[in-house]
Structure 1
Amino acid sequence: MEYRLLGRSGLAVSELCLGTMTFGNTTNEQDSIEMINRFIERGGNFLDTADVYVSGRSEEIVGQAIKDRRDEVVLATKVRMQTSNHPNGVGISRKHIMEGVDASLRRLQTDYIDLYQVHVWDHATPIEETLRALDDLVSSGKVRYIGCSNFFAWQLMKALATSDMNRYVRFISIQPQYSLVSREMDREMISLCLEENVGIIPWAPLGGGFLTGRYNREEPIEGRLTSKVGESSWALRNSEKNFAILDEVKRVAEEVGKTPAQVALRWLNQRKGITSPIFGASTLAQFEDNMGALDWKLPEELWNRLSEVSQLPSEYPNRFIAKFARPFE
C-alpha cells in the first residue's frame, strides 16, 4: 500500500479509501467490520462514511470497528443531507453543522473527525457562514481537516477564496463522481484542483458496478444498476460509448491478467491529481477483488488506451484555448 498527502496538508492517506455506504444495508455488520479489519491489516488507513448512510447506521458500524485502533485510521464523514424533519435538519448552516458533528461523533465513538466534508453545496446558506462554522470546529479540536463533495468548479473556487480572504481553514479535498465512464470532472475541476493543490478522492470509481464487467449489451441487468433514478441507473450507463469503454477495459484486463474492476481502479489511481479512489463492496469477495488493484502498475501504453477511449469530446473553450496555446505552455 502506498500513501499520499491529501491536498495542501501533511495528512497521509492510503492510495485506496474504503467506502462504507453499504454497511448496515447490503453488507451486514459482521462482514463490514471484517472488511475494515482486513483493509487496515493491509495498510489501508482511509475510511469514508456519512451521517445519512443507512440513517447513521454506517457511522455506528465504523465506530464499533475502529474504537480500539482509532489512531491508525484517517476517518472521513459528511454533513449536509436531511437528518431530521424540522426545517433546520438539512443544509450547511451553522446550526445544522454543529448538531451534525456532535451526532456523528457519538455514532463514531470518537472525540474527533479527521476529515469533515460538506456533502453538497447549499444555495440557502452563505458560504461564509459554513466556512466560519467549520473553522470553529477545527479550532475546537472536533475536526482536523475539512473537505467538500459534489461541487461545481466555481463553487470550490469561491469557497477557497472565501477561506483565504477571511483566514479560515481551507478545503483540502473534494469528493466527486469520477471514473472511466464519468469523466465530467476533466472539464474544469481536475485542473482547478491541481492549481490549488486540492486532493481528489473520487466516489463510484467503478461507475456504480458497470466497470466490473458484469453487464453486457444482450443480457438483462441485475444489481445496483437496476435503479431507475440517480447516478447509479442503467439509463446513465447503457450507451454505446460506455460499452466501448468496458470492452477496452476487458481487453486490457485480459492482457495484464487482472479483473476489469482492478484495471478500472488502477487506471484511476494512476491519473494525475487523484489522491485516493473510494471503493465500496457489498461482499467480502467484492472487497478482495477491489483490493487486487494494489501493488502493480498499468503500463503507459495500456493506460493511454483507456484514457483515449473514455475521453470527453472536444468542447469549447478547451479547443479554442488549445488553438492559441503558446509553444512553451
Structure 2
Amino acid sequence: MEHRTLGRSGLKVPVLSFGAGTFGGSGPLFGAWGTAGENEARRMVDICLEAGVTLFDTADVYSNGASETVLGAAIKGRRDKVLISTKAGLPMGDGANEAGTSRSRLISSVESALQRLGTDVIDIFQLHAFDASTPVEEVLATLDMLVRAGKIRYVGISNFAGWQIMKSLAVAEKHGWPRYVANQVYYSLLGRDYEWDLMPLGKDQGLGALVWSPLGWGRLTGKIGRDRPVPETSRLHATAEFGPPVEDEHLYRVIDALDAVAKETDRTVPQVAINWLLQRPTVASVILGARNEAQLLDNLGAIGWQLSAEQIRVLDAASTVTAPYPHFPYRRQAGFARLDPPLTA
C-alpha cells in the first residue's frame, strides 16, 4: 500500500481509506448506504488491514452515531493498527446547541465520539461544515485546546468554501493554533469542481484531499450506462436527491470513456475511476464506501497499476466541463495560463 503525507503535516496516510458510513446504517440516507453490523464490519476491517488500508473515516451524524459505535467495536483490540478520522458540526438534533462548532458543541462532540469509538484520541478530526454563527477564533481556539489535551491529533475541514478555509488558516497562523491539514471533498470524474479553487488552495496552503464519493454517488459502478438503466436494487433510487446532481448526457459521456478504458486495461469501471483520482494533484487518500465484501475487494483493485497518459487524456476529455468565472475563459488563454498554469500531479 502506497502512503502519502497528509497535507502540510508529518502524518502518512494510505492512498485508499475506508468510509464507515455503511456501518450501522439507519434512516432514508444512511440506511441505503449500508447496514453492516459489528460482525460484518469486523470482517470488512479485516480485509482492509490485510490490504494495508489503515485509515477509517466516519462522522457523528452517520446514523446518529451508530457508525462510530460499530467502527469502534470492529477495531477493538487493534486500535494501534489504525488511524481514525471522524467529523462533527452538522445537526444531531433540534436543540439550539445540537448543531454547529461552538466551543460547547465541539467539546461535547469530541467527548461523545471518543466514547462511541472506544478510544482516547482521534487521529484526524474534521469540521463537517462551516458554522457561520460561531467566530472562527472560537472554533480554532477550541481545536487548539483539544489538541493540547491529547483528544485529537490533526484537524481538517469538509464542505468549506475557499474563502472560509483561507480565513481560518489566517487566524490559525496569527495565533499559532493548529492549521487544517486535511480537506475532505467530493471529487470524481462526474464532479471536478474541486479543481477550480480548492485544489490550488490545497496545493498552496498544504491541505491534503481526502476524497469522498469517488464513484460519483454510486453512478460509476459499471452497472449504469446508455443501454444500462439504474438497477432496481441500486441505492440511487433512495439517495439521488441527497447527492450531487449530474446531467444524463455528461454521465453517459464519462461512462462511455470509462467503459473503453476499463476494457483496454482489463480493469473494472470503479477501479479505473479511482485510479484516475490517485493521479490528481493534492489527493492524499480516496475513501472507499463499500457496502459489502465484494465491492470492497473490487475497489481495492484500483491500486498496484497506473493509467497511461493517453488513457488519462481520454478520461479528462470526457469529464471536463466549462468552469465558472473567473476560471473560464481566461484559463484557456495563453497570457492567463502563463501567469497561473494548471496544476500537475
Is the pair's TM-score, using the shorter chain for normalization, greater than 0.5? yes
Equivalent residue letter for 1:76: S
Output the aligned Cα RMSD: 1.6
The equivalent of 1:27 in structure 2 is 35
Q: How does 1:40-51 map to 2 (within 5 A)?
A: 40-51=49-60
2:91 alignment partner, SS class: coil
Equivalent residue letter for 1:196: Q
The CA distance in 2 between the partners of 1:169 and 1:62, in whole Å, is: 27
The CA distance in 2 between the partners of 1:278 and 1:57, in whole Å, is: 19
The equivalent of 2:28 in structure 1 is none
The equivalent of 1:147 in structure 2 is 156
Q: Tell me, yes or no, if structure 1 residue 225 matches structure 2 residue 229.
A: no
- Runs of 4+ deviating beyond 4 Å: 326-329
Instruction: Say if 2:13 and 2:55, in contact at 8 Å, map to a contact too.
Output: yes
The CA distance in 2 between the partners of 1:218 and 1:327, in whole Å, is: 43
Instruction: Say if 1:184 and 1:312, in contact at 8 Å, map to a contact too.
Output: no
Deviations 1:5-49 (A, max 9, x none): 100111011001100101112232222211111101211111100
Deviations 1:174-193 (A, max 9, x none): 00111000111111110110
Equivalent residue letter for 2:159: N
The equivalent of 1:320 in structure 2 is 330
Q: Quick one: structure 1 residues 244 and 34, their matched pair in 2 at CA, closer, same or farther if it must change by over 3 Å?
A: same
Equivalent residue letter for 1:182: G
Deviates further, 317-326 or 48-57: 317-326
Q: Which of the numbers 265, 268, 273 marks the counterpart of 2:274?
A: 265
Deviates further, 64-73 or 183-192: 64-73
The number of equivalent residue pairs is: 326
The CA distance in 2 between the partners of 1:130 and 1:114, in whole Å, is: 18
The CA distance in 2 between the partners of 1:326 and 1:189, in whole Å, is: 18
Q: How does 1:1-329 map to 2 (within 5 A)?
A: 1-25=1-25, 26-29=34-37, 30-221=39-230, 222=232, 223-226=234-237, 227=239, 229-231=241-243, 236-318=245-327, 319-320=329-330, 322-325=333-336
Instruction: Say if 2:330 and 2:337, in contact at 8 Å, map to a contact too.
Output: no
Equivalent residue letter for 1:249: L
The CA distance in 1 between the partners of 2:258 and 2:4, in whole Å, is: 26
The CA distance in 2 between the partners of 1:75 and 1:41, in whole Å, is: 17
1:327 deviates by 5.2
Equivalent residue letter for 1:275: A
Instruction: Say if 2:225 and 2:256, in contact at 8 Å, map to a contact too.
Output: no
The CA distance in 1 between the partners of 2:305 and 2:146, in whole Å, is: 39
Instruction: Say if 1:76 and 1:114, in contact at 8 Å, map to a contact too.
Output: yes
Deviations 1:291-323 (A, max 9, x none): 111211111110121112112315432332544
Taking structure 2 as the reference length, the TM-score comes to: 0.91
Q: Quick one: structure 1 residues 217 and 326, their matched pair in 2 at CA, closer, same or farther if it must change by over 3 Å?
A: closer
Percentage identity across paired residues of the two chains: 39
1:137 alignment partner, SS class: helix
Equivalent residue letter for 2:310: E
The CA distance in 1 between the partners of 2:330 and 2:12, in whole Å, is: 38
Deviates further, 195-204 or 216-225: 216-225
1:90 alignment partner, SS class: coil
Instruction: Say if 1:208 and 1:224, in contact at 8 Å, map to a contact too.
Output: no
1:115 deviates by 0.3
1:61 deviates by 1.1
Structure 2 residue runs without a partner (length 5+)? 26-33
1:218 deviates by 4.7
Equivalent residue letter for 1:80: G
Instruction: Say if 1:80 and 1:118, in contact at 8 Å, map to a contact too.
Output: yes
Structure 1 residue runs without a partner (length 5+)? none
Deviations 1:168-210 (A, max 9, x none): 1000010011100011111111011011111001100000111
1:220 deviates by 4.2
1:202 alignment partner, SS class: strand
1:279 deviates by 1.2
